[in-house]
């Protein structure tokens, strides 16, 4: 799947919230400035977007750079 935020490739599926705004994946294994990945998935953010830690430990979110 992809959008303004970037591209997500997941071989084993993605859990999508009922409102379509949130995706859940197994815990990440590797994290870079523009890429985060785990077993069977990779998310690469588009220019102007960043990966940051979420509210809960172990959570991450993709947000537009300010």
For residue 10, CA distances in Å to 28, 31, 66 come to 12, 16, 28
- Sheet with strand 2-3: strands edge to edge: 2-3, 6-10, 41-45, 35-38, 30-31
pLDDT classification of 58: cutoffs 50, 70, 90 = confident
The answer to whether residue 55 scores a pLDDT higher than 80 is yes
Which helix (H) or strand (E) is 61 found in, with range?
strand 60-64
- What pLDDT is attached to residue 12? 84
26 has pLDDT over 90: no
Residue 19: pLDDT over 90:
yes
């Amino acid at each position: 799947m992809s959008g303004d935020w970037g591209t997500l490739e997941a071989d084993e599926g993605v859990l999508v919230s009922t409102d379509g705004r949130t995706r859940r994946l197994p815990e990440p294994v590797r994290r870079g400035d523009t890429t985060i990945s785990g077993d069977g998935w990779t998310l690469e953010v588009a220019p102007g977007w960043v990966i940051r830690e979420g509210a809960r430990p172990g959570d991450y979110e993709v947000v537009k750079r300010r």
